[in-house]
Amino acid sequence: MDFSALVDPLSAAVVIGGTALATLLRAGLGECRATIATVRHLATREFDEDALRSDLARMVQDVRVDGLVRTEPYYFRDRASQKAARAMVDARNIALFHKQMARFRALRMADNRRAHATLAMAAENAPAFGLAGTLLALSQLPADPGQGMNTALAGAVLTTLYGVLLAQLVLTPLAEAIRRSGEAEEQARDELMRWTAWQLEGAVVHPLPLPDAAEAA
């Protein structure tokens, strides 16, 4: 088999460009941006379970020893955890940490659902634009048979092939990878949050000393 015959940049541009444009028009710019961010998160593997476990253990130790007043969660490498810990320290409320983490969890799950739906939509669009490319190539068939007809027929076949491959080997697997990765991340985070809640249960909060009445006067 001559694999070089399967390479046609024009056919690929028709299928990929048409799929991207149709998905943008159907899903909207906001959904597409969220999808790109989620795919980037998947590709860069930003979530590090071991690092988060280490940082949570340090936070627990600091809260138990120093209380919330002197705890400084600068060491968090996970941005959501750092924001939640900062809110907890500012409000001197341990329950607020878990409330903020639950809020970030809901946001992550919503982003994953949006990305999965957008990629599934793109997977539906890809074969349609493969067919559109085929019809476009067939419309360019020359009146006289010859080399030009062979080229047009090859392009017609390739656009259909590209549409199927884009849908089944790229977009659908990517959507499922986001779903599986998101579920695994949330499961790991939930286990760490349960451990943290157990460790912080009954932790003593050391408040700042109140000024004397004479000093206040």
Position 156 pLDDT exceeds 80: no
Position 4 pLDDT exceeds 50: yes
Q: 118 in helix, strand or coil?
A: helix
Which of 119-128, 136-145, 159-168, 192-201 has the least mean pLDDT? 136-145
Q: What percent of the chain has pLDDT over 90?
A: 48
Residue 200's nearest CA partner among 83, 48, 89 is 89
Of the pLDDT bands very low, low, confident and very high (cuts 50, 70, 90), residue 17 is: very high
So what's the pLDDT on residue 213?
42
So what's the pLDDT on residue 214?
43
What is the distance in angstroms between the CA of the first residue and the CA of the last residue of the chain?
93
Q: Which pLDDT tens digit goes with each residue over 68-88?
A: 777 777 788 898 999 998 888
Please state, in angstroms and rounded to a whole number, the distance separating the CA atoms of residues 209 and 5: 79
84 by Cβ neighbours in 10 Å (0-12 / 13-18 / 19+) ranks as buried
Please state, in angstroms and rounded to a whole number, the distance separating the CA atoms of residues 170 and 15: 13
- Distance (Å) of CA 67 to CA 84, 92, 214: 16, 9, 27
Of the pLDDT bands very low, low, confident and very high (cuts 50, 70, 90), residue 209 is: very low
Which residue reads 């949050």 in tokens?
Answer: 193
So what's the pLDDT on residue 71?
76
More confident residue, 153 or 129: 129
Q: 188 in helix, strand or coil?
A: helix
